[in-house]
Every structure is written in structure tokens, then in C-alpha cells.
Amino acid sequence: MPDLDKLHEAVVEGDSKTAAAVTHAAIAAGVEPLAIVTGYLVPAMDEVGRRFECEEYFVPEMLLSARAMKASMEIVRPLLAAAGTEPVGRVVIGTVQGDLHDIGKNLVASMLEGGGFEVIDLGANVTPERFIDAVTTRNAHVVALSALLTVTMTSMKTTIDAFQAAGLREKVKIMVGGAPVTQQYADAIGADGFGESAAAAVALARRLVAV
Amino acid sequence: MNHREPDRIPLDFGSTSVTGIHVSAVAALRRHYGLAPGPVKVHEPYQMLGLVEDDLRAALGLDVIGVFPCRTMFGVPADNWKEWNFHGLDVLVPGGFRTRTESNGDILVYPEGDETAAPSGRMPVGSAFFDAIVRQPEIDERKLDPADNLEEFAPIAEEDLDRIERSVRSAAASGCGVAATFGGTAFGDIALVSAPFLKEPKGIRDVAEWYMSTRTWRAYIHSVFERQCEIGIRNLARIHARIAGAVDCVYLCGTDFGTQTSSFCSVATFRELWFPYYKRVNDWVHGNTSWKCFKHSCGSVERFFESFIEAGFDIINPVQCSAAGMEPAGLKRKYGSRLVFWGGGVDTQKTLPFGTPQEVREEVLRRCEIFAPGGGFVFNSIHNLQAGTPVENIVAMLDAVHQFNGVAHA
């Protein structure tokens, strides 16, 4: 039986090779895929989020930990799907139309995945129609909208309005985040929540799916 | 810039790529002030910054003029102007600026104007400027060669020295303060890492990869910075030999260390990885020229200010007061006698684009009251004036500064 604490350590330290190796070994030894996620990956990414919040970690460390977590998830994800394991929730995430910045969005996506969510990442410069299509076809519970630019932040409102016009607004929770976004702006455009950081976004998504 | 209070606050808009005005706002201001109609030059197409010509500078009451790099962010000189229609606005773009519009309406731009190369910039529908297209060759850790990340740092060509000298002499003759951008001394400016000016960039060019490399491949980054530092100082020496004291300050570095709520690295990492190179460049400038050293960094960067000062930076921009820990009165009190605040005049994330003219005016007057005493303040908004900013808000901002200065203007 491999030492699974090494998986926790590898994710926290951003060592993707070790994370993948320990995960392979654990699966081979018969460890339940869900136990790997809930017992090791989720706590590891919680620890990464904690270190980011208290400024022990910065963007480079977050990116490395996210990459290590993904290396493990790549192995575990197909097994979870095959077993029909339901995620904590299903989140469609993307940077809104007109905005190509995706580092913040990618970090939030990784933290959500590390938090036990199934994440459908639509990338950057995503039109309202693509968000709606993904929510409809993937039966998502939450939509996470990102924007870095003040000039593209208004696409968040356009997207929320499009959900309203499509009659889907009440079927999905919409959360927003990004440098220029504030709680006040989130309230003004009718979002269900605002996450100031990647860790805060995970906590918010957990609250939204629990409602 | 010498921390002596002048008769009025000097104003800058348009002298650098971080204190500029979007071309659509330049056109709107020209209309507002009744200046000669005609297409505005886009001197920096990456951010679609419009050139502030002499007549607009006079109309706005600006005190600083810029000297721009020899080539734009897409690797072509800002000359041989040609007409281009941008979102219904007729503008002038450099002759080497070549684009293609995709079926979805996104505009792609080619490096060095070479349409046979892969595009290096994209302006998506709904945006008003370009972002770099990452072209990251596969990274083989064993074959990483610092030379690959140094292609853009080379001894300056004689013809470029001629061009710089002409630009500087022309700017100095204006009677304005001269802020010059020569390039080559930023060290890991993330806007430059992806190298939209190169046809086929090698080395580490992906933004996320670069950030991770500052932790995992630090020796490699040091090697790049070391060589870049040597080349940069030699280029500055050759430029100085041509222009001497004809410029007042040099925009040396645009590497962002701040985010809205935190920073991109710890102070300890900054001091280990960046500080030695900044200090060498700034020491050379202070030891050999009369130039002031201009540092740009967005975001929450107060934690680095003591290090910036120790490294020899004289000027900090854009003073993002909307970021965590960047409260203006506190910054002025702690650093006002040692750092020039070039910016911080008004918030561009909320107040200027979305506020009323009265809200803009009140914020500008408050900031002037805080930053002006004792000198060390050049008025500029927090970063460039963006597309879509109401012209009446820009005018309210300028009028407020002129009112504070006690100057009847425009």
C-alpha cells in the first residue's frame, strides 16, 4: 500500500510527477478512487487555498499545486465516471466574452475540481450562448463567470441577462469573480455570489449547491 | 521629481504605454475640444493607444511628452501610417500592422507584419485591444537554453539609435518633460514574455509556465536576467552617449508584482530574483545620467516599496489605490519623500468609467490634496484611459486638476 500522505504532500508542494505516481500506485493497490479525492486531494487543495489566503503561497505555487492535483485527477476521473460517482456539484466556468485572460479562471477551476466539483471549463472569451448550451447539456448546478478587465466585466451582466431571457435563470446559480469585480457589482447585475479569491470561490460554490 | 513642491501639479497622459489613452478616447477628446478632425494615430496597437499630438496636449494642459520604443508590441515600427477602420472609427496604424478577421469577428494580428507567421495577437469581439496569443513550443527541461528567452534582447542597432536620437531631440524641443521608453530592462514583464513581436518565440513563453518557472527553474530565470541586464545596461550607455540629459525620466520596468488583493510573489522572492538586476540597472542610470528611474507595477505592491526604493527606483506608477493596502494617504505619509507617485489620480476600475462627473471631480480633488503637498506627484489616472470611458468624465477629471492648480484652462 503506498503512503497516501505523500500524495497530499506532493499536491501541496506542487510535485506533479510524484502526485501521478502515488495515485497510480494507490489505484493498483485497490484504493477507492473517491477516497483518493475526498481523503487526499480535497484536503490538499484546501491547504493550498489556506496558504494562499495567508500569503505563504502566491500565484506560482498555486499553479504548481493545481498542476499536481490535475495529474492525480486525470487518473482518478475516468474511474469515478465509470463507477457513476456523483460530484459535489457540477460547475460550468469560463472567462466572459471579449476577455482572453484565464489564469485566475484556471486557478478557480482547479480549486473547484480539487474541492470535489465536476468542472466544465469553457475557456476564455465565452459567449452567453455557450454558457447556456453547456448548462443545458451538462445539467450544471453553478455557472462561474470570470473577467479581468473593467471593459469586459459588463459581459457578465449580458450573460446573466441571457440566462434570464432563456428562462434558465432560476435553474442555475451564477457566481462571479475577477480583479475589477466587487460584491456591489455582483449584486447590481443579479449574480448569486461573488468570490474574492480562488479559495473563497470554492466556499461560495459549496454554499450555492447546498441551497 | 525632486520632491520639491512645484507651482502646480504636472499632468501626464500619453507619454508611456502605461499612462496612455485608448484611441477611441483620444478621438472623443479631440472632438470635445474642437480640434482638427481626422484619424488618430495608434502608436501602440497592442493596447490600441492613441497618439496625443501637440494640439491635444495643449488643449488638455499636459506637461509630459513621450519617446516611444523603436518598434511596437507587434514588432513593426510606428511609421508609414495607413488607414484602418476600428469598430467604425477611422484610425491610422503603422504600415507594418497586418491583420486578419476571423469568421466570428475576432481580429488576429501578425508578428513583424509577416502574414506567413502564426498570428501573435487577438482582439476578440467585444474587446477594444489585443491580447497575446501564446505560442509555446514544447518544453524539454534538459534542453532549456537561456538564449531562447533572450532573442528579443540584443545590442541596439545604429539605425535605431538614430531613430531614438531624433525622437528625443524632437520631444525635448517641445518644452515638456520627457518620459522615454527604450525597452530591454523590465525582467519578466508578463506582457512581454509571450513575445507578440517575435515570429517564432522559443524558450518559456506561456504565461503560467513562466510564473511556475520563477519557482521551479530559478537558475534558468537568473541566467536570462543576468544576460538581459548586461545587454540592457550597454544599450542604455550607447543611448545616453547620443542624448545625454535630454530626457527627464526613463520608463525602465513594467513587470507587475501586484494583484487586486495580494502580490505575485513574496518580498523575499522579489529580493532574491529581481532586486539585484533592478539595482544594477538603476545604479548605472544614477551613476551615469541625470535620468529618473520609472517603475510600473499594478496591484497591491506597497510591501515592495522599501525594496523598490533601495533598488533605486525614483518613480512608481500607476499607484493602484483600489488594490489592497494601497490607501493613498498612508502611501504618501510613508513613502512620499522618497518615491514619486506618477498616477493614483483617479480610479479607472469604477469611478472614471462608471461614476458621474461629480464623483470623478470629488475623487480627483481628494487625491490631489493627498498627493500634491511637498511635490513628488505627477497626475495620471490609475493606468491608461480605457475604451468606453465617458468623455465628460475625462473632462471632469482634467478640469478638477486644473481647478486645484488654480489654472484656467481649455
Q: Is 80 exceeded by the pLDDT of residue B410? A: no
How many residues are there in chain B? 410
Is the Cβ–Cβ distance between B315 and B380 less than 8 Å? Answer: no
Cα–Cα distance between A180 and B317 in angstroms, integer? Answer: 18
Query: pTM for this structure?
Result: 0.94
Average predicted confidence (pLDDT) for chain B: 97
Q: Is 90 exceeded by the pLDDT of residue A183? A: yes
pLDDT 10s digits, B115-125: 999 999 999 99
The predicted model gives A19-25 an average pLDDT of 98
Q: CA-based angle A88:A93:A94, to the nearest 5?
A: 170
Cα–Cα distance between A9 and A18 in angstroms, integer? Answer: 9
Non-local (6+) Cβ contacts of B26 within 8 A are B14, B40, B50, B51, B52, B56
Q: How many structural domains compose chain B?
A: 1
Residue B29 Cα distances to A85, B48, B78, B173, B385, angstroms = 59, 15, 22, 25, 11
Kindly report the nearest CA distance between residue A53 and chain B, in angstroms: 9
Spatial CA neighbour of B76 closest among B98, B52, B53: B98
Identify the helix (H) or strand (E) that includes residue B354: helix B351-354
Is the Cβ–Cβ distance between A205 and A142 less than 8 Å? Answer: yes
Q: What is the DSSP string of B132-186?
A: EPP--PPP-GGG--GGGGGTT--PPPHHHHHHHHHHHHHHHTTTSEEEE---S--
Cα–Cα distance between A2 and A72 in angstroms, integer? Answer: 14
Residue of B nearest to A53 (CA): B262
Q: Is 60 exceeded by the pLDDT of residue B409? A: no
Write down the ipTM of this complex.
0.94
Question: Which one of B21, B349, B383, B393 makes the best mutation probe of the A interface by having the most chain A beta carbons within 10 Å?
Answer: B349
Is the Cβ–Cβ distance between B46 and B196 less than 8 Å? Answer: yes
Who wins on pLDDT, B165 or B407?
B165
- Give bridge partners of residue B293 from the DSSP assignment: B250
Residue with cell 496591484: B299
| Pairing verdict, β B177-180 and B64-67 | parallel
pLDDT at B408: 62
- Per CB-CB distance under 8 Å, the chain A contacts of B350 are 150, 180, 182
Q: Edge to edge, what strands does the sheet with A90-95 contain?
A: A118-121, A90-95, A142-146, A173-177, A193-194
Instruction: Decide if B125 and A97 are in contact by the 8 Å CB cutoff.
Output: yes
Does B292 reside within a domain? yes
CATH architecture group of domain A90-210:
3-Layer(aba) Sandwich (3.40)
The beta-carbon neighbor of B265 closest among A14, A60, A125 is A60
B68: amino acid identity, one letter: F
Cα–Cα distance between B238 and B284 in angstroms, integer? Answer: 12
Kindly report the nearest CA distance between residue B259 and chain A, in angstroms: 8
Does B115 reside within a domain? no
- What CATH number is given for A5-82 in this structure? 1.10.1240.10
Identify the helix (H) or strand (E) that includes residue B342: strand B340-342
In chain A, ranges of CATH 1.10.1240.10 domains: 5-82
Residue with cell 541586464: B229
Does B313 reside within a domain? yes
Its domain, for residue B284, covers: 61-72+137-405
Instruction: Decide if A197 and B386 are in contact by the 8 Å CB cutoff.
Output: no
Instruction: Decide if A101 and B131 are in contact by the 8 Å CB cutoff.
Output: yes
B262: domain CATH number is 3.20.20.210
Flag the least confident range among A79-93, B264-278, B306-320: A79-93
SS3 category, B96: coil
Q: Is 60 exceeded by the pLDDT of residue A141? A: yes
CB atoms within 10 A of CB A133: 14
How many residues are there in chain A? 211
Q: Is 80 exceeded by the pLDDT of residue A1? A: no
Kindly report the nearest CA distance between residue B307 and chain A, in angstroms: 18
Question: Using 50, 70 and 90 to split pLDDT, how confident is the model at A165?
Answer: very high
The predicted model gives B35-56 an average pLDDT of 97
The beta-carbon neighbor of B387 closest among A63, A97, A151 is A151
Virtual torsion, Cα B232, B233, B238, B239, nearest 10 deg: 70
SS3 category, B56: helix
Question: Which one of B129, B134, B212 makes the best mutation probe of the A interface by having the most chain A beta carbons within 10 Å?
Answer: B212
Kindly report the nearest CA distance between residue A97 and chain B, in angstroms: 7
Is the Cβ–Cβ distance between A144 and A93 less than 8 Å? Answer: yes
Does B143 reside within a domain? yes
Instruction: Decide if A97 and B265 are in contact by the 8 Å CB cutoff.
Output: no
What is the grid cell recorded at B187? 525582467
CB atoms within 10 A of CB B32: 14
Q: Edge to edge, what strands does the sheet with B107-109 contain?
A: B99-101, B107-109, B121-123, B131-132
Cα–Cα distance between B167 and B174 in angstroms, integer? Answer: 11
pLDDT at A2: 86
Residue A160 Cα distances to A174, A192, B57, angstroms = 8, 10, 41
What is the grid cell recorded at A63? 499553479
pLDDT at B90: 97
Kindly report the nearest CA distance between residue A106 and chain B, in angstroms: 10
Spatial CA neighbour of B369 closest among B326, B405, B334: B405
Separation of CA B156 from chain center: 20
pLDDT 10s digits, B223-275: 999 999 999 999 999 999 999 999 999 999 999 999 999 999 999 999 999 99
A198: amino acid identity, one letter: A
Cα–Cα distance between B290 and B246 in angstroms, integer? Answer: 9
The beta-carbon neighbor of A63 closest among B211, B261, B348 is B211
Residue of B nearest to A107 (CA): B208
